Amino acid sequence: MTQKQSNRKNKIMSGIIIILSIIGLILCIAALFPHVREMILDYVVKHVMYKEIDRETSSYQTGIRLLLSYALGGICFILFLDYCTLTDSGRSLVREVKQEIKDCWSEIDFRSFLKPSLILLGVYFLGILTIIRANFLYRDDIWRAAEGARGWFLYFSRHITEILSIFVHADSVLTDISPLPQLLAILMLSVSSVLLVYIIGNKKITTVGLLASIPLGLSPYFLECLSYKFDSPYMALSILVSIVPFLFIARKKAFLFISVLSLLVMCMTYQASSGIYMMMVVVLCFQYWNSREKTNKEIISFLGIAAFAFCFAMLFFRFFLMRPYGLEESEYASTLMFSASHILSGTLDNIKEYAMTINHDFGMIWKIGIAIVFLFFITKSIYRSAQVKILSFFISILVIVLSFILSFGVYFLLEAPLFEPRAMYGLGAFLAIMCISVISDYKKIASVAVLALNWCFLVFAFSYGNALADQARYAEFRITILMHDLGGLYPNAGKEGNFTLQLKNAIEFTPVVKNIAKHYPVIEKLVPKRLDSYYYDYCYFMKYFNYISHWPVDSYLDFDAWDLPVVLDSYYHTIKSDGEHILIILKH
C-alpha cells in the first residue's frame, strides 16, 4: 500500500469515526433530557419487559437515573475514543500501549501453562463431581430454568454476564444445559489458578504450587458459586479477569490499561471478586520490598498505578454503569455506601461482622490449618527477608490483616453488604495467595501444612455435593406427599386457581446435613431448605410439580393468625383452609 493510499484510508476512517461520534453524542445528549429518558424507558418496559410499571414507583425512577448515568458514560467514552483515534497524541498513546501489550505477551510462554491447567482442571472436576451428580436446582436456577429469564443486567448491573449468557445458551431464553456452565467455570478456575501460581510464585509453576491454589476454586464459599447451573461461569470469569492484569506488570501503560479494562469486566460479571486485584497488589508489593527485588520508588510507582486503576474502574462503574438500589428494593442487601461521617465506624462494623461470620462458618480443623499457614508465611517472610528482620515480622502481619480485609472487596464500604457464601469467596483467593506464597521456595514441612489444609477443602467439597443430593431426595419425598394430599383435597385447584396459598416453616435438613454441620457449620448456609419463603422455592413447589401455572401466593397476609379450620393433619404437615385460603404448615 502506497503512502497516498494509506493517507486516503486514514481520512476515510477518521470521517466515519467523526460521523458516528456525532450521532452517538446527539443520542447521549438527547437522553440527558427527562422526557426523552421517559420515552426510552416506557418503550423498554412495554416492548422488552412486557409489563406495566407505574411512573411513581422507585423502580421506574431508578431506571430514569440509570439512563442518565448511561448517557453521561456514553459521552465520556465517545470523547475518549475520539481522542485516541483522531488526535496525534492519542494515536501515539494507543501505539505505545499496543506495543507494550505485545512485548509482555511475547515474553510469556503460554505453552507452559497447558499441562498445569489440565492438572488443575482434573482436580477441580473431581472437586465438583458430587455437585454435578446431585443435579440440584440451586436457588435462582429454579426460576431461570422454569421461566428462561436472565435478569443479571436489570437487577445486578452484570452487563457482560447478560450478554455472554446468550452465547453460552445459544438463545436469549435460558434453558438448563448443565453441567456445561459448571465445566466452563472450572476451566476458567484452572487457568486462574495457574496464572496465580505463575505471578505469586515468581514465574515458577510447580505441582505443589498448583495444589496450593486449590482454595481459589474449592473454598467452602466458592462451592456455592459452583452450585449454580446458570451463574457459575461468570462468577469464575470475574476471578480470571482480576488476575490477568498482572501478566503485564512489567510495562506500566499496558498494566494500567489492562487493569482498568479487566476490573470493569469483573464489575460487570460478579462484583464479589472486587478484592482479589488489590490483595495481589499488596502481596506483590510486600514480596518486592522484602526481597529488595525492586526499589522503594518502583514499588510506590507500581502501587500508585494499581490503586489509580482500581479506583478509576470502581468509580466509573459506580457512576456510569451500576444500577443502585437500597434495602427497600433488594430486601436483603444494598449498594448504598456509608456517608462520610459514618464510613470509619461502619467499615469497622462490617469487618467485624465478616470475621465473625467466617469464625462461625469454619470448622476447627480449618481454623487450625489456616493459622499454621499464617505462621509459616510470617516465618518465611523473616527467614527470606533482605530487610531488617523485626520490621519484616511486623510488616508480614500487616500484610495478612490487610489482605484479609481486602478479601471482602468493596463490600465492607456498603451500608448493608451481603454476608452469604457467594459474596465471601474472596477469602478463598486470600488463602490461595497465602498458600502459594508459603510453599514458594520453602521447606517441605510448609508444603505438608498447606496441602493438608487444601485436602480438607477437597474432602468437604465431596461431602457438600452428597449432602445436596440427600437433601434433594428428602425434599422431593416431602413435596410428593404434600402434592398428593393437596390434589386429593382440591382436585380442581390447579385448573380453577380460585384460592391463595401460604407456606409456613420449611423442609428441614436431613440427618446427613446435620451431621456435617456439627464440625462444619457453613454447610447449613450452602444447602438450601426447600419450600421456605423465597420466591424460587414457591416456583419449585408449584411449577416443577405441575400443580398450577399462575401465582396464587399471598405473602403479605398472615394466614396463621386467621385460625383457619384444619382440613388435614399428618406426620409431615398440617393443611388449614376455608376454601379460598390455604395454609400449609410444614412440620420438622
Closest to 264 measured CA to CA, from 212, 309, 304, 211: 309
Q: What is the DSSP letter of 420?
A: S
Whether the Cβ atoms of residue 461 and residue 130 lie closer than 8 Å to each other: yes
Q: Kindly tell me the sign of the dihedral angle through the C-alpha atoms of 366, 217, 321, 21.
A: positive
Q: Is 225 helix (H, G, I), strand (E, B) or coil?
A: helix
Q: Look at the chain and count its residues.
A: 588
Cell representation of residue 385: 527477608
Cα distances from 415 to residues 325, 400, 452, in angstroms, run 11, 25, 37
Q: Is 575 helix (H, G, I), strand (E, B) or coil?
A: strand
Whether the Cβ atoms of residue 120 and residue 190 lie closer than 8 Å to each other: yes
Instruction: Please tell me the distance from the alpha carbon of residue 378 to that of residue 384, in angstroms, as a whole number.
Output: 10
Cα distances from 48 to residues 52, 155, 161, 169, in angstroms, run 11, 15, 18, 19
Instruction: Please tell me the distance from the alpha carbon of residue 421 to that of residue 469, in angstroms, as a whole number.
Output: 19
Domain boundaries, the chain: 3-86, 103-442, 465-586
Beta-carbon contacts of residue 269 (< 8 Å; ≥ 6 apart): 158, 160, 161, 164, 234, 235, 237, 238, 241
What string of DSSP letters covers 346-399?
A: HHHHHHHHHHHHHHHHS-HHHHHHHHHHHHHHHHHHHHT-SS-HHHHHHHHHHH
For 97-126, how does the pLDDT look when each residue is reduced to its tens digit (9 = 90+)?
999 999 999 999 889 999 999 999 999 999
Give me the tens of pLDDT residue by residue for the chain, a chain 588 residues long: 566 666 777 788 888 888 989 998 898 888 888 888 888 877 766 655 545 566 666 667 777 777 888 888 889 889 998 888 888 898 899 999 999 999 999 999 889 999 999 999 999 999 999 999 999 989 888 888 888 878 787 667 888 998 999 999 998 889 999 999 999 999 999 999 999 999 999 889 999 999 999 999 999 999 999 999 999 999 999 999 999 999 999 999 999 999 999 999 999 999 999 999 999 999 999 999 999 999 999 999 999 999 999 999 999 998 888 876 654 455 556 677 888 888 899 999 999 999 999 999 999 999 999 999 999 999 999 988 999 999 999 999 999 999 999 999 999 998 888 899 999 999 999 999 999 999 987 778 889 999 999 999 999 999 999 999 999 999 999 988 988 898 888 877 656 556 777 888 889 999 999 999 999 999 999 999 888 755 566 666 677 777 765 555 555 677 877 889 999 999 999 999 887 788 889 988
Residue for grid cell 520490621: 391
For 140-195, how does the pLDDT look when each residue is reduced to its tens digit (9 = 90+)?
888 888 888 787 876 678 889 989 999 999 988 899 999 999 999 999 999 999 99
Instruction: Please tell me the distance from the alpha carbon of residue 268 to that of residue 274, in angstroms, as a whole number.
Output: 11
Q: What is the DSSP letter of 572?
A: S
Instruction: Please tell me the distance from the alpha carbon of residue 199 to that of residue 205, in angstroms, as a whole number.
Output: 9
Reply yes or no: is the peptide bond before residue 179 cis, omega within 30 of 0: yes
Instruction: Please tell me the distance from the alpha carbon of residue 79 to that of residue 293, in angstroms, as a whole number.
Output: 40
Please report, to the nearest 10 degrees, the dihedral formed by the alpha carbons of residues 437, 441, 442, 444 taken in order: 110
Whether the Cβ atoms of residue 506 and residue 531 lie closer than 8 Å to each other: yes
Q: What is the DSSP letter of 49?
A: I
Instruction: Please tell me the distance from the alpha carbon of residue 271 to that of residue 277, in angstroms, as a whole number.
Output: 12
| Per-residue pLDDT, 468 | 96
The reported pTM is 0.92
| Per-residue pLDDT, 487 | 83
| Per-residue pLDDT, 327 | 46
Q: Exposed, middle or buried: residue 315 (CB in 10 Å: 0-12, 13-18, 19+)?
A: exposed
| Per-residue pLDDT, 551 | 52
Whether the Cβ atoms of residue 429 and residue 212 lie closer than 8 Å to each other: no
Q: What is the DSSP letter of 549?
A: S
| Per-residue pLDDT, 328 | 47
Going along 71-192, which residue ranges are E strands?
Answer: none
Cell representation of residue 226: 459452583
Cell representation of residue 414: 456498603
